[in-house]
Amino acid sequence: MTPEEKQRYYDDFIIKTWHQDTQFKTWVNNLKVLNRKLKKGYDPFHQSCYYITFYELLTEGIGYSEPVPTPPIWGNSPDESTEYLKVVNLALLEIKSDLTDIEFEIIEYKRHFACHIFQDRYEYTIRKNGTLGTDRKGKNLDELRVGIDRTIERHGGDRKFDKYLTEKFYLKIKAIPQIR
């Protein structure tokens, strides 16, 4: 690699790091805003946005906010950003641990439903070798469907499940600090 290429890579890394930090903080703040809005009253649009944001923070967000051996190079100070990421990481891990497996599956399903015009990841497929695909991420589709349907039904339907879930995590999400 030439010195110019090394510098371009370094500069790009700095920009990427800053952008990802900004995006992460924006997503955390968006979840907090959606959390407040849904506490005031049910709204299907905000509920869909909630599932998208919630799921992404519980998956990619946890990985992003995991403690790193060296302090990040952004934020008001490295210690402040590192501490913020630790606090958010612990909050997200606690929230995720409070979810049952089927609740997490429902959050993922509702995230997919909100993000994709067609929901085809929960249907049988024909594999390249001609066999019938009856699983999703190693889980049997029939069992997954039954688990999702029964859980939503047990709560009295989709809307009541949405209210249950947002209420279940309202205080934990509210407690996550905001940072600029």
Taking the C-alpha atoms of residue 139 and residue 178, their distance in angstroms, rounded to an integer, is: 37
Q: pTM of the full predicted structure?
A: 0.86
In a domain, 77, yes or no: yes
What is the span of the domain harbouring residue 75? 3-115+169-174
In a domain, 164, yes or no: no
The CA R_g of the chain, rounded to the nearest whole Å, is 20
Q: What is the mean pLDDT of residues 97-103?
A: 96
In this prediction, residue 51 carries a pLDDT of: 98
% pLDDT > 70, the chain: 93
Residue 47, token pair as written in the block: 């509920």
Domain count, the chain: 1
In a domain, 146, yes or no: no
In this prediction, residue 54 carries a pLDDT of: 98
Taking the C-alpha atoms of residue 46 and residue 106, their distance in angstroms, rounded to an integer, is: 17
In a domain, 149, yes or no: no
The string of pLDDT tens digits covering residues 143-178 is 999 999 999 999 999 999 999 999 999 999 999 988
Taking the C-alpha atoms of residue 104 and residue 99, their distance in angstroms, rounded to an integer, is: 6
In a domain, 128, yes or no: no
In a domain, 49, yes or no: yes
Judge whether residue 29 has pLDDT over 90.
Answer: yes
In a domain, 123, yes or no: no
In this structure, are residues 30 and 174 in contact, taking their beta carbons and an 8 Å threshold? no
In a domain, 130, yes or no: no
